[in-house]
Chain A
Amino acid sequence: MGFVMTVNDLIKNTNFTVINPGNNLDISINKPFCCDLLSIAMSKAPANSAWITVMGNVNTLAVAVLVDVACIILADGVTLDLTAMEKAKQQDITVLQSSMPIFETALLVHELINA
C-alpha cells in the first residue's frame, strides 16, 4: 500500500482545478475509476474511488451520490452544466477538473495513490 491520499490532497494538487470543493475532504481515495456510461458506472464504481468521466451532467452527480465515490474528476477540461453545478453545491459533492484525457488523468491519480 502506498500513502493514504485524501480528497483534500487531490484538491491541493495543481494538476486539478476545483469546480466544487464538497465537504468530505478527509475520505481516502482507494483507486481511480473510469467510465462514461452511467449504468455501467453505477454498477462498477467502487466506493471511495475517484471517478473520472467526461459526463458533466446532473445524472453523473446522482450516480456519484448513490455509489459513494470519493470525488468526480471531469477529464478533458469538461465542466458541469448549470443544473449540475447547483446539485453539486447542494449535495456537497467534490468535483475536480483535469485538462488531460481520461487515461492520463487516471494514471496520475493512480501514481499519486501509489507514490
Chain B
Amino acid sequence: MSNTITLKYSVSSEDFTRAGEASSDVKSKLKKMNLPPEVIRKVAIAMYEGEINMVIHANGGEITVEISPTEIVIILDDIGPGIKDIEQAMTAGFSTAPDNIRSLGFGAGMGLPNMQKYSDEMSIKSTVGVGTTVTMKVYIK
C-alpha cells in the first residue's frame, strides 16, 4: 500500500526572484492537508534554507518532497561544487557566500544549522566536483 505523495521541484540557478516558490508551494499543500502548524513551519524553514543554498552555491538543482502519514522527507539534490568539509559547513556562522548574497540578507552561515535544527533527521552526502544530496525528515507527530 502506498499512500505517499511525491512532489518534485526544479530550482533554477541564481534566480532569487523565484527562490522560495517551491517551499511556498509545499507549505500551502501541507496546510490543505491540515497538518500541525509546527510541522508545516519546520518543513517550510528547512526547505527554504535548502532552496536558497542551492541557488547560492550549487547552480540550482532538484527537490523531491515525499509526504507520508508519518513523516515528510525532503531530498535536495544538486550537481554543484560539493562541500569540502561538511563539519565546517555545519558550524553556525561559517559561510562561503559572496558579498552580493550577504547584501540580500543571507550568508550568515545559518543555512545548514537551521536545516538541521528544523528537521528531525538530516544527512548530507557530498562529493567535491560532483554534487551534494541533503536528505531531511520531519516527523508528523
Contact = CB atoms under 8 A, between A and B. Distances in A.
B139 interface: no
Interface string A26-38: 0000000000111
A60 interface: yes
A36 B103 CA distance: 10
Interface residues of A, number: 21
B108 A42 contact: no
Given A42-B114, A65-B24, A87 B17 contact: yes
A105 to B, nearest CB: 18
Contacts of A65: 20, 24, 27
Nearest to A66: B44
Given A43-B117, A66-B24, A38 B17 contact: no
A85 to B, nearest CB: 12
A112 interface: no
Main secondary structure of the interface of A (DSSP, over half): helix
Given A42-B48, A43-B117, A62-B24, A37 B19 contact: no
A108 B55 CA distance: 37
B41 interface: yes
A40 B16 contact: no
A62 B20 contact: yes
A43 B24 contact: no
Interface of B: 16-17, 19-20, 23-24, 27, 37, 41, 44-45, 48-49, 52, 104-106, 108, 110-111, 114, 117-118
The 5 closest A-B pairs by CB, nearest first: A62-B20, A39-B110, A38-B105, A66-B44, A55-B105
